[in-house]
Amino acid sequence: MNRSVFIAGTDTGIGKTHAACTLLHALRAAGYTACGMKPVASGCMETPEGLRNDDALALQVASSAVQPYSLINPVALRDPLSPHLAAAHDGIEISLAPLHRAFEQLVGSHQRVVVEGVGGWLVPLAPGLFAADIAKQWRLPVILVVGLRLGCLNHALLSARAIDADGCRLLGWIANCIDPDMGALEENLMTLRELLPAPCLGVLPHGVAPVVAAAYLHAAVAALD
């Protein structure tokens, strides 16, 4: 049985890719065939093979087997901007249909597909289309990655509220220690555990590679059983 999941973030630059790759390694260690996907990525680099995004490449490497890049990242955009702006600069308009076709191919050959969003929950992709619509229309449960830094409580609570308002299921949240010098770290974690309406599925320490940090995500793997 396939159980896919959408990885949302409280903001950009809070470690969605790190958490997604760590979850992929944890799923593989548990015996599942697992693949990452980043449907839309901006800030891609020109290569002889075409536009490539570092986050999408990391997901590709962390997966059970190397999949064609066009399935991992169907929409690759040049400029490091909000996707709707980067797409306009590239002369395209993002739609969900081609993204879903790539997703279905990955689902057909993997027990778990980890779909990483772009930016935060309400990042615009096109007129009337947001990153949240991927999870909504594909009916994916959501794991929220909370980057532990000053301001994370507000961002996490607002994101959880928006996920619920959009009718999506918040499966749980992963704390990612992006600021090694954050004050009152444990107190902030305790506050998040008290106030977020879903369980903590793991706390990722700062500076630990995904293949090693996978040991911290047993609860996330169990949530996808």
C-alpha triplet 84, 24, 134: angle, nearest 5°: 30
77, 74, 63, 75: which is closest to 32 by C-alpha?
Answer: 63
Residues catalogued as catalytic: 38
Q: Are 40 and 118 in contact (CB under 8 A)?
A: yes
64 in helix, strand or coil?
A: coil
The residues facing 51 across adjacent strands are 46
What tokens were used for 26?
């944890």
Helix H or strand E encompassing 16: helix 16-29
State the first-to-last Cα distance of the chain, in angstroms, to the nearest integer.
9
- Ramachandran assignment for 85, one of left (phi > 0), alpha (psi -120 to 50 degrees), beta (any other): alpha
Amino acid symbol at 128: G
Residue 24's Cα: distance from chain center in Å? 11
- Strand runs labelled E in 62-182: 75-76, 112-116, 124-126, 129-130, 142-147, 170-176
